[in-house]
Amino acid sequence: MPRPVILTVDDDPAVSRAVARDLRREYGEHHRIVRAESGPTALEALREIALRGEQVAVILADQRMPRMTGVEFLEQAMDLFPRARRVLLTAYADTDAAITAINVVDLDHYLLKPWDPPEEKLYPVVDSLLAAWRESSDRPSATIRIVGNRWSARSYELRDLAARNQLSYDFFRADEPDGARLLEAAGADPDVLPVVIAEDGRTLVQPTDAQVAEAAGLATTASEDVYDLVVVGGGPAGLGASVYGGSEGLRTVLVESRATGGQAGTSSRIENYLGFPNGVSGDQLTTRARLQAEKFGTEVLTTRTVTALEPKGRARVVRFDDGSEITAHAVVLATGVSYRMLECPGLDDHTGQGVFYGAAATEAASCAAQDVYVVGGANSAGQAAMNFSRHAARVIMLVRGPSLTASMSHYLIEQIEANPRIEVRTCTEVCGADGTDHLEKLTLRDRNTGAEETVEASWLFVFIGAAPRTDWLDGVVARDGRGFVLTGPDLPRDENGRAPAGWEPDRDPFHLETSVPGVFAVGDVRADSVKRVASAVGEGAMAVSLVHRWLENR
């Protein structure tokens, strides 16, 4: 295997040589050090590296370069090697620019010049970035090829599935020469799409998510029949429970219906999470958490949908949509919430065809130089708007309320206000959509005056409220009127204040315990929970301590 590349670019020849010298001295044995003296030259070097099939682990770029600034270079470098760790070299006076760049190019670190001695100021930074790169790259390496139509909802779903599970994939349009040749070579009918071609040559016609995951090397089937702990849902709360369950010696399995990370996993940057002063992308946080859970022995199943939970004595049986089941001594429900559908004429017809629920990171680059509409006024909408502004000509946020202050963090509001590519339209809602094979027009309504306006639009991303995914728990655990799971002190009690009807243990329910003993709910799915990543992770960890108490006294 070729050595991964560490690339450095600086327009000052002396500085360029010095950086390359220090990097080569420490990392030259296991990495190839490439240096360039301008942004365009460095981009050409990256293209050649990509053509040779090599990998880039870390990129260090000087900010003050005459033809192309470091931030401008890193923006383009991200398109070639999105998983490479990015460092900006700055002078002391450039620190404000570096902090701004954290939001623009998902910067991992910035280094002040001079960095002497490198043993104290350079090598520890590069060491941590190389470790993070190796962890994020430690995913199934099989490359799948997806052939479909550009505006096919199912083709989009498969691309999104691959991207969110960090699968290596290529997408080919069936109406272009490369796609047509692939279909012909695979002996597939071009009228029956999408088609997925696995690395081993297998052709999957209109495959399920589970078939694609299995072909790409992800685990989809439990290795055992009985576990100490089953965690249902792989968002921050579920990952937190999985890490602590595995680290404390419980035989733990995490079951996720689509991809670990949940809604947080699609966030371009989370800046108020403890321990990450420069922010962290949802993808990075999810990757590290999943690797951490797996390191402690947690088994992770992907593309498995849980359809039923049944108490059987002291056991808890979890059933899947294919009829199979596993048994657990305890269960943690961490299924999170899903974005509500936007109800207006025409939108349902274009879901996945220009209308998307959530960040849809796979579509960001396709929005280049076009207008993007984002519906919603909370943090998820704001983070998406900031991310899309790196590609789009304009991002227009449509907010039903009079301002963003009621639902969005202050730091994010400031970033949006300072971004010239983002326009916020308050008291505005979508009331109609139109198009042929994809979204072409939106009808917007002013909620104050009732006036309507039709605008050309090919991209609409919706972030409006959240609904819990708990229909499958109907009649099993107590829920509130909106479907959120009730736990601990919020559980219904009789007129004497005693535990819920049917409650067997001679104790009150634990704080995160549902109306079924030994079944706990954490994160967004729990009634009246704090909808933040940090609190979700905390609840996941707390649930494991309560699981231990349940196991000791059952």
Tell me the per-residue pLDDT of 404-421, one tens digit each, with 9 for 90 and over. 998 899 999 999 999 999
Q: What is the pLDDT of residue 105?
A: 61
Q: Are strands 195-197 and 143-148 parallel, antiparallel or unpaired?
A: antiparallel
Residue 256 identity? E
- Residue 461 pLDDT greater than 60, yes or no: yes
Helix spans in 250-315 (H): 282-295
Quick one: pLDDT at residue 217?
A: 87
- Dihedral of CA atoms 264, 270, 272, 273 in degrees, nearest 10, equals 60
Asked if pLDDT for residue 397 goes beyond 90, the answer is yes
Mean pLDDT score, 149-165: 90
Note the pLDDT of residue 140. Answer: 43
- Confidence check: pLDDT of 51 > 80: no
Q: How confident is the model at residue 31 (pLDDT cuts 50, 70, 90)?
A: very high
Backbone angles phi, psi at 534, to 5 degrees: -60, -45
- For the entire predicted model, the pTM comes to 0.76
Mean pLDDT in residue range 461-469: 88
Please tell me whether residue 354 adopts helix, strand or coil conformation: coil
C-beta separation of 540 from 241 below 8 A? yes
Contact 271, 281 (CB under 8 A): no
Counting every residue written for the chain, the total comes to 554
* pLDDT of 252 above 60: yes
Q: Give 166 or 225, the one with higher predicted confidence.
A: 225
Q: Hey, what are 372's tokens?
A: 């993007």
Which of 265-279, 281-295, 335-349, 457-471 comes out lowest in average pLDDT?
265-279
Q: What is the rounded distance in angstroms from the CA atom of residue 189 to the CA atom of residue 205?
A: 9
Q: Report residue 77's pLDDT band, with 50, 70 and 90 as the boundaries.
A: confident
Instruction: Spell out where 40-194 has E strands.
Output: 56-62, 85-90, 109-112, 143-148, 168-173
Go through 498-523 and write b for each residue having 16 or more CB atoms within 10 A of its CB, e for each that does not. Answer: ebbeebeeeebbbebbbbbbbbbbbb
Q: Does the pLDDT at position 551 exceed 90?
A: yes
Kindly tell me if the per-residue pLDDT of 95 is higher than 50. yes
Spacing of C-alpha 438 from chain mean position: 25
Cross-sheet strand order for the sheet of 452-456 = 428-435, 439-446, 452-456
Residue 139's pLDDT is what? 46
How far is residue 213's CA from residue 259's CA, in Å, rounded to a whole number?
A: 10
> Which pLDDT tens digit goes with each residue over 171-198?
999 999 999 999 998 899 999 999 999 8
Give the 3-state secondary structure of residue 367.
helix
Which tokens hold the place of 92? Answer: 């002391």
Angle at the Cα of 475 from the Cα atoms of 472 and 479, rounded to 5 degrees: 80
pLDDT at 365: 75
Please state whether beta strands 428-435 and 439-446 pair in parallel, antiparallel, or not at all (unpaired).
Answer: antiparallel
Q: What whole-number distance in Å separates Cα of residue 253 and Cα of residue 293?
A: 10
- What are the E-state strand segments in 288-342? 299-302, 306-312, 315-320, 325-333, 337-339
Exposure string of 94-103, with b = 16+ CB inside 10 Å and e = fewer, is beebbeebbb
Backbone angles phi, psi at 436, to 5 degrees: -90, -95
Q: Mean of the pLDDT values across residues 251-256?
A: 98
CA distance 6 to 122: 13
Residue 138 pLDDT level (bands cut at 50, 70, 90): very low
Q: What is the mean pLDDT of residues 370-375?
A: 96
Give the integer Cα–Cα distance in Å for 487 and 521: 7
How many Cα atoms are found within 13 Å in the side-chain-facing hemisphere of 416? 27
pLDDT for the residue numbered 332: 98
- Quick count: other Cβ atoms within 10 Å of Cβ 434? 15
